[in-house]
Amino acid sequence: MSYTCISSRCYLFAFSINSIRAILGSVEGDLEMGFYGSSCPKAEKIVQDYVNQHIPNAPSLAAALIRMHFHDCFVRGCDGSVLLNFTSASGNQTEKVAVPNQTVRGFDFIDRLKSLLEAECPGIVSCADIVALAARDSIVLTGGPSWRVPTGRRDGLMSNASEALAQIPAPFDNITILTQKFANKSLDLKDLVLLSGAHTIGISHCPSFTNRLYNFTGVGDRDPTLDSEYADNLRSRKCRTQNDTTTIVEMDPGSRKTFDLSYYALLLKRRGLFESDSALTRNSNTLTFINQLLQGSIANFYTEFGLSMEKMGQIGVKTGTTGEIRRNCAVVNS
Does the pTM surpass 0.75? The reply is yes
Active site residue 54: no
**Rounded Cα–Cα distance for residues 40 and 135 (Å):** 20
Give the relative orientation of helices 60-73 and 298-312 as an angle to the nearest 10 degrees.
40
**Rounded Cα–Cα distance for residues 144 and 273 (Å):** 21
pLDDT at residue 7 is higher than 80: no
**pLDDT for 37-77, tens place per residue?**
999 999 999 999 999 999 999 989 999 999 999 999 999 99
**pLDDT for 288-332, tens place per residue?**
999 999 999 999 999 999 999 999 999 999 999 999 999 999 999
**pLDDT for 198-247, tens place per residue?**
999 989 999 999 999 999 999 999 999 999 999 999 999 999 999 999 99
**pLDDT for 125-137, tens place per residue?**
999 999 999 999 9
- Count other C-beta atoms under 10 Å from residue 220's C-beta: 9
- Closest by Cα among 6, 77, 154 to 315: 77
Q: Is 34 annotated among the ligand-binding residues? A: no
φ, ψ (nearest 5 deg) of residue 248:
-105, 145
User: Beta strands of the chain (E only): which ranges?
Assistant: 26-28, 31-33, 203-205, 248-250
Q: Is 221 annotated among the ligand-binding residues? A: no
Mean pLDDT of 86-112: 88
Mean pLDDT of 265-274: 97
Q: Is 137 annotated among the ligand-binding residues? A: no
**Rounded Cα–Cα distance for residues 64 and 97 (Å):** 16
**Rounded Cα–Cα distance for residues 6 and 93 (Å):** 24
